Amino acid sequence: MYVCLCKGVTDRHIHEAVRQGSRSMRQLNQTLGVCSQCGRCGRCAKGVLDEATAQIPAQVPAQVPAQVATRTSAPMPTSAAA
Ligand code: FES
């Protein structure tokens, strides 16, 4: 469905923008031009933004396994050593 007629932005465009990292109306405005002319799309765009953002899995802080964190770098064996 079209969300922003002035810029030809659809809900699919907004979902893709959110997958690419957009999380706010300001970012949608910068990436897609949503709400940059008449502004009538603002409420609908925000609704689609919220819906798309809710579908993204919660970001879990990266955890480095203890084994990897304590591993020291060892030289790679050469193929002629065997
Ligand atoms: S409909 Fe989006 S700026 Fe006009």
Q: Is the CB of 35 under 6 A from ligand 1?
A: yes
Q: Whose CA is closest to atom 1 on ligand 1? A: 4
pLDDT band at residue 3 using 50, 70 and 90 as cut-offs:
very high
For CA atoms 48, 54, 57, 61, give the dihedral sign: positive
Residue with tokens 């699919």: 12
> Which residue ranges form the domains of the chain, and what is each CATH number?
2-54 (1.10.10.1100)
Q: Does residue 41's CB lie within 6 angstroms of at least one atom of ligand 1?
A: yes
At 44 the pLDDT is: 98
Q: What is the pLDDT of residue 57?
A: 81
- Cβ–ligand 1 distance for 28 under 6 Å, the answer no
pLDDT digits (tens, 9 = 90+) for 22-72: 999 999 999 999 999 999 999 999 999 999 999 988 755 556 555 555 555
